[in-house]
Amino acid sequence: MAAAAAPATASSGKEALGSASEPPRLFDGTTRLYICYFCPFAQRAWVTRNFKGLQDKIELVGIDLQDKPAWYQEKVYTQGTVPSLEHNGKIMGESLDLIKYIDSNFEGPALLPEDPEKRQFADEMIAYANAFTKALYSPLISKVDLSDETVAALDKIEAALSKFSVGPFFLGQLSLVDIAYVTILERVQIYYSHLRNYEITKGRANLEKFIEEMNKIEAYTQTKNDPLHLLDLAKKHLKIA
Ligand SMILES: N[C@@H](CCC(=O)N[C@@H](CS)C(=O)NCC(=O)O)C(=O)O
């Protein structure tokens, strides 16, 4: 997916490095998470870091994707996308891999269950997150009406949220599954409401409760953006309509 980013300014408190910037002192032993503050994929890694209490262990480096520094792709992450993580002399990317990596290689509360049945379900749901994202974004990018596939993807999430019937999270307590979905849901809820007059939570009580409960978790709320700003960015950069 293309970038959904705009320049962050110093006054936003979310400074981002642009083309005129110098790279950090790479591989100096600092663990760095390279993100764009408006990117749902980067947000997954950022929430994971916050929830595990790793603010002092993993430094955030904001990248301005609208004025991307050449050094980012040349020296940090050859794919040029965010998020990426600099840790132990290596660079890794892909948000769904990164959240698992951060969970298993750093201290803090475990975000994947030990129970084999829940663990298998967690793996399946995390593996489905990319297809879910595509099912939700496709009609917006192709400027077509809500598809059966989109509705089915939302219904699948609604059913998944009650699989262990303890709620309000996918596995009962907060896990990487919640983190994988919430940043996408945050955006598509706004986009469908404004652009399709469709409330994704209507008739989906589990989803409604899930979003409500996620909005009580500071590790996540600290990473949220103004809804209308996200809508503007997506119209401009993803050309959704
Ligand atoms: N599959 C990747 C997707 C990452 C991605 O597409 N990030 C966008 C920003 S939202 C990006 O870095 N785009 C590159 C650019 O705009 O230069 C992941 O999950 O980490």
17-28 pLDDT per residue, tens: 999 999 999 999
Cβ partners under 8 Å of residue 214, min gap 6: 178, 182, 220
Whether residue 3 lies inside any domain: the answer is: no
Gap between the Cα atoms of 99 and 207, Å rounded:
22
Q: How confident is the model at residue 12 (pLDDT cuts 50, 70, 90)?
A: low
Report residue 179 CA to chain centroid gap.
7
Number of domains within the chain: 2
User: Same domain, yes or no, for 120 and 232?
Assistant: yes
Whether residue 2 lies inside any domain: the answer is: no
User: Same domain, yes or no, for 69 and 123?
Assistant: no
Say yes or no: CB of residue 1 within 6 Å of ligand 1: yes
User: Same domain, yes or no, for 204 and 180?
Assistant: yes
User: Same domain, yes or no, for 19 and 56?
Assistant: yes
The residue whose C-alpha atom lies closest to atom 14 belonging to ligand 1 is: 81
| Range list of H helices, the chain | 40-51, 70-71, 95-105, 116-141, 148-160, 176-195, 205-214, 218-221, 227-233
Gap between the Cα atoms of 223 and 134, Å rounded:
22
Pick the closest to residue 203 from 240, 166, 173, 158 (CA basis).
158
Whether residue 138 lies inside any domain: the answer is: yes
- Ligand 1 test: best mutation among 82, 95, 99, 181, most atoms within 8 Å of CB? 82
Say yes or no: CB of residue 170 within 6 Å of ligand 1: no
Whether residue 110 lies inside any domain: the answer is: no
Residues 37-42: what's their mean pLDDT? 98
Interval 181-228: pLDDT, tens = 999 999 999 999 999 999 999 999 999 999 999 999 999 999 999 999
Cβ partners under 8 Å of residue 165, min gap 6: none
What's the whole-number average pLDDT of the chain?
Answer: 94
Per-residue pLDDT at 232 exceeds 70: yes
Looking at residue 239, its pLDDT comes to 95
The CATH number given to whatever domain includes residue 214 is 1.20.1050.10
The residue whose C-alpha atom lies closest to atom 10 belonging to ligand 1 is: 39
Looking at residue 13, its pLDDT comes to 65
- Last residue of some domain: 105, 133, 163? 105
Per-residue pLDDT at 6 exceeds 60: no
Q: How confident is the model at residue 65 (pLDDT cuts 50, 70, 90)?
A: very high
Q: Look up the domain containing 29 and give its range.
A: 10-105
Looking at residue 38, its pLDDT comes to 97
User: Same domain, yes or no, for 82 and 178?
Assistant: no
103-123 b/e (C-beta count within 10 Å ≥ 16 → b): beebeeeebbbeeeebeebbe
Gap between the Cα atoms of 159 and 123, Å rounded:
16
- Ligand 1 test: best mutation among 35, 41, 96, most atoms within 8 Å of CB? 41
> To which residue do tokens 């879910």 refer?
132
Whether residue 98 lies inside any domain: the answer is: yes
Interval 92-127: pLDDT, tens = 999 999 999 999 999 999 999 999 999 999 999 999
The CATH number given to whatever domain includes residue 15 is 3.40.30.10
Say yes or no: CB of residue 66 within 6 Å of ligand 1: no
